[in-house]
Amino acid sequence: MDALLDIRALSVSYRARSGAVHAVDRASFTVPAGSVVGLVGESGCGKTTLARAVMGVMPASAQVSGDALLFQGVDLLKLSPRERRRLAWTKLAFIPQTAMSALDPVYRVGAQIAEVLVERGGFSRTAARARAEELFAMVGIDRARLAEYPHQFSGGMRQRASIAIALALEPALVLADEPVTALDVIVQRQVLDVLKDLQARLGLSVVLVTHDISVVAYACDRVVVMYAGRVVESGTAEEVLERPRHPYTMGLTNAFPDLAGAAHTLVPIAGHPPALDYPPPGCRFAPRCPFAQERCRTLDPSTEDAAGHVAVCWRAEEAELLRIQAARVETWAAMG
């Protein structure tokens, strides 16, 4: 099976004033061609760092290491910075969290798209203009607005413009960091629909980094759940969300209100994620996990793979029983 992106045991650490921070610890997952993969977790779980590391836009003080980071069969970790840069914007594109304010306010939006096309893609000015119009059409913005400045765009439009720029050179994979978090719900839906549409029409693959499980459920084919720098579960969206095998995922799905369903009680997960400079030994979720056993606190849990549905938990086999317990408020309340 040739995945578009194959991440194998990727680790990223920073040097901060207090010491080394291990933002990502041996993360592994794959992104098949033409799929939207949701990378979900709370703040500080390392999802943004991971996306940036894949893209190669890390600060100098960061160290990225791993077994392999395969993109279209090429190991990105073994490339020189120049070769890596050439990939950026062409095969691989990134939409940062601050995309809405990443547009330069003193240039017209059309000019900014054209610049990417001309500088990186070797387009001529006329060809760039035509392509820019095409891109805007793809993301559903009237092409007349190419002549406008960023401040004349609403938040949702700026986000869509950022997507347009990311798509300028027909990348195979787009890494989008919280692309809809700051948007109103109707606009959010529009942007997600644009991404899905592009997936269908262009065979585009997207890694959608978000903290919102509902967004993942709506837009993603596959889900990767991260906690405290580690991947704790991954699989198809259906599998992970409907039949989670890791206690954290079970807790997370309980914590989101479901507008369509009955008004059940939300169940909070007591405590908070560990600091990443001195992570606890063993499973990092153990201190907050209602199903933790002795071995969970001392030994790193092994990876359990049940037909492509991966869960990093000692008790993954008992998932069915644990799920029933996890649905009850008392199970989690006992931890608080």
Partner 1 sequence: MSAVPLLDVTDLAKHFPAPRRLADIARGHRPTVKAVDGISFRIGPRETVGIVGESGCGKTTTGRLVLRLVPPTAGHIRFEGVDVASLRDDALKAFRRRAQLVFQNPFDALNPRLSVRDSLAEPLRNQGLPRPEWDARIALAMQRVRLPDLARYLDRFPHELSGGQLQRVVLARAIILEPHLLVADEPVSMLDVSVRAGILNLMREARDTLGLAALYISHDLALIRYVCDRTIVMYLGRIVEDGPTEEVVRNPRHPYTRALVAAVPVPRVAQSRAPLPIRGNVPDAREPPSGCRFRDRCPQAMPRCAAEDPPLRDVGNRVLAACHLL
**Site residues (CB under 8 A) for partner 1?**
42-43, 154-157, 184-190, 192-193, 196, 211-215, 217-219, 237-238, 241-242, 251-261, 263, 265-270, 272, 336
Give me 258's structure tokens: 């479901």
Proportion of the chain in helix, strand, coil states, percent, rounded to 5: 40, 25, 35
CB atoms within 10 A of CB 325: 15
For partner 1, the closer of residues 100 and 117 by Cβ is 100
Contacts 24+ apart (CB under 8 A), 49-52: 49/12, 49/23, 49/24, 50/7, 50/10, 50/12, 50/24, 50/209, 50/226, 51/94, 51/175, 51/177, 51/207, 51/209, 52/94, 52/177
Minimum CB distance to partner 1, residue 256 (Å):
4
**What is the enclosing helix (H) or strand (E) of 173?**
strand 173-177
For partner 1, the closer of residues 211 and 323 by Cβ is 211
For partner 1, the closer of residues 78 and 264 by Cβ is 264
Minimum CB distance to partner 1, residue 284 (Å):
14
Minimum CB distance to partner 1, residue 280 (Å):
17
Give me 114's structure tokens: 């054209």
For partner 1, the closer of residues 28 and 249 by Cβ is 249
DSSP 286: G
Distance CA 106, CA 113 (A): 14
Q: To 5 degrees, how large is the angle CA 143–CA 197–CA 258?
A: 120
Minimum CB distance to partner 1, residue 211 (Å):
6
For partner 1, the closer of residues 162 and 190 by Cβ is 190
- Reduced to 3 states, what is the DSSP secondary structure of residue 200? helix
Whether residue 30 contacts residue 208, with contact meaning beta carbons closer than 8 Å, is answered with: no
Minimum CB distance to partner 1, residue 260 (Å):
5
For partner 1, the closer of residues 268 and 287 by Cβ is 268
For partner 1, the closer of residues 237 and 312 by Cβ is 237
For partner 1, the closer of residues 80 and 330 by Cβ is 330
For partner 1, the closer of residues 107 and 256 by Cβ is 256
CB atoms within 10 A of CB 108: 17
Minimum CB distance to partner 1, residue 44 (Å):
8
Minimum CB distance to partner 1, residue 58 (Å):
24
Burial 275-303 (b: 16+ CB within 10 A, else e): ebeebeebbbbbbbbbbbeeebeeebbee
Minimum CB distance to partner 1, residue 160 (Å):
11
Q: Please return the burial class of 119, using the count of CB atoms within 10 Å of its CB with bins 0-12, 13-18 and 19+.
A: exposed
Minimum CB distance to partner 1, residue 23 (Å):
17
